[in-house]
Amino acid sequence: MSRSKVRENLMKALTPSDDYTETLSTLSYGSVHKRFDPYIDIDWDHPDFAVRRDDDRWILPPTDPFGAHPWYQALPRERQIHIGMWRQANVAKVGLQFENLLIRGLMQYVFALPNGSPEFRYCTHEAVEECNHTMMFQEVVNRMGMDTPGMRPWVRVVGPLVPFLASFFPEWFFVMVLAGEEPIDHAQKTVLRGGERTHPMLERVMSIHVAEEARHISFAHRYLEQHVPELGPVHKLILSVVFAPTMRIICDLIAVPTRRFRQDCDVPRWVVRDVFWRSPEARKTLRGFFADVRMLAGELKLMNPPAKLLWKICRIDGPASRYRSEPARAV
């Protein structure tokens, strides 16, 4: 075979499929024509968005793991409101910190992409949307007046190292992306689907976030479907064994409150342990977060025996979704 023929076959192997390129073009089109601006599409000063410390709508609903706990439900109304405001403000703070890391990783990833790469445009669109989300979440925290810290302090030290993973092992980086986005998306959809009485400001923010995160999650799934089959056996084995621990560690960083929460809200340690994730109901919620990614791992043939054992050790094993975003009650 001639050298030119070998080069042609190699270029064909490296060229993304038409279906993949079309998917990214569709997502980019949506980012242009179906996008939100936090300071245009949210009327922050609307009377309905006013933040009051005696508003029952800050009480955590039963769909929230903490709101469902008997200890919380037995508290006086004023304490329920205070804890609810603190928790929801901290969730927003954690969300913006995670998306800050995601933005840095996306920029690190696109920096070295070749000309003509189908990922460049969409990843840049996604980074812009995530920047808007960080402003949106910070606005929520500021208006609630709760000085919440977000993630644990050590994340500020380790966090800047995470984006570099996007350069030498991007498939693992996008697994990390899903590890953060899937639990937040799952929790917000549960609240919106449940029709609970939620503060209008939070409801509007969650609606916007869910709408745009659908594109981001779709891209991460599609990226892994496209590129994981191209990995060599060693990288594929590594990805299979880090998949479940990555999901569990990042989920805990996002969902589990810090010691500051217990101190500021006077919450017993045993209650936090019950909610995250010792009680049977909490473990069911935890497993429900990852039904979609269990489906993805199975489709990518990353559910080998060692990987299955790790999913079980991390307590996030269970049935996979039949389709993306399948409601937890059906799963």
Summarize pLDDT for 111-130 with one digit per residue, the tens: 999 999 989 999 999 999 99
Per-residue pLDDT reduced to its tens digit, 297-327: 999 999 999 999 999 999 999 999 887 767 6
The answer to whether 74 and 100 are in contact (CB under 8 A) is: no
Mean pLDDT across the stretch 24-33? Answer: 96
Mean pLDDT across the stretch 134-150? Answer: 95
78 or 4: which leads in pLDDT: 78
**Percent of the chain clearing pLDDT 70 (strictly above):** 92
pLDDT > 90? residue 5: no
> pLDDT at position 157, please?
85
> pLDDT at position 232, please?
96
pLDDT > 60? residue 155: yes
- The model carries a pTM of 0.89
Mean pLDDT across the stretch 218-232? Answer: 96
The answer to whether 80 and 72 are in contact (CB under 8 A) is: yes
Mean pLDDT for all residues in the chain: 90
> pLDDT at position 327, please?
65
> pLDDT at position 16, please?
62
> pLDDT at position 12, please?
44
Q: How far apart are the first and last CA of the chain?
A: 52
- CATH of 19-46+76-313, picked from 3.90.1640.10, 1.10.620.20, 1.10.3720.10, 1.10.10.10, is 1.10.620.20
pLDDT > 60? residue 166: yes
13 or 207: which leads in pLDDT: 207
Mean pLDDT across the stretch 257-266? Answer: 91
Domains of the chain, residue spans? 19-46+76-313
pLDDT > 70? residue 168: yes
> pLDDT at position 14, please?
43
> pLDDT at position 328, please?
58
Per-residue pLDDT reduced to its tens digit, 61-79: 888 888 889 999 999 999 9
Contacts of 132 (CB under 8 A, 6+ apart): 36, 37, 38
User: Would you place residue 229 in the very low, low, confident or very high pLDDT band (cuts 50, 70, 90)?
Assistant: very high
Mean pLDDT across the stretch 261-287? Answer: 91
Among the listed residues 252, 115, 236, the one whose alpha carbon sits nearest the alpha carbon of residue 179: 252
